[in-house]
Amino acid sequence: MLRTMLGKTLGFVGYAVQYGCIAHCAFEYIGEFVVCSGPSMEPTIDNKDIVFSERMSRHLCKIQKGDIVIAKSPYDPNINICKRVIGLENDKVCTSGPWALIKTHTYVPKGHVWLEGDNLRNSSDSRNYGPIPYALIQGRVCLKLWPLHSIGTLSESPNRRIIKTQSDSNTD
């Protein structure tokens, strides 16, 4: 009786470990579901919206301008941020807010990206903390899953169109 019970328990633990490993690999290398909070990506992503963030693009270096990404905060590694990629390495980006009378610009250094929220007046982003290392990107948001009435792929930023840089026009 004890031997049968022990065998069943160890069998259950074995299956739990196997499925746990599979789930870990799926969330680490394929993607994850993210509940977004805060107003910085409104109206594209509202507070409490649920999105799916795929991780393959990050590993394959396929993040592009206009993509919405989940990244580790440059201030606190325990916090994730959700922002739109405005500039990649060597791109010239505007560092001043939409309300600034004098526009300032900078170049994104090698191995970094420039991130901004769609809600420019209510977003802490690269205009505050500068470009972030590419390694802080956790994944690319590809689907909005909740609320149900807005399920689907995400649209271009409502506030601005991503402007092609000189390097983009040379590749057309």
Pairing of strands 137-146, 50-54: antiparallel
Does the annotation mark 83 as catalytic? yes
- Choice among 53, 57, 83, 123 that is catalytic: 83
CATH of the domain at 43: 2.10.109.10
Answer whether residue 113 is part of any domain. yes
The verdict on residue 17 lying in a domain is no
In a domain, residue 90? The reply is: yes
pTM: predicted TM-score of the whole model, two decimal places: 0.73
- CA-angle at 30, arms to 50 and 61, nearest 5°: 100
Structural domain contains residue 98: yes
Structural domain tally of the chain? 1
8 catalytic? Reply is no
Task: Identify whether 20 is part of a domain.
Answer: no
Q: Which residue has the tokens 């301008």?
A: 65
DSSP H or E stretch at residue 58:
helix 56-59
Model pLDDT for residues 93-123, shown as the tens digit of each residue? 888 777 778 888 889 999 899 998 888 888 8
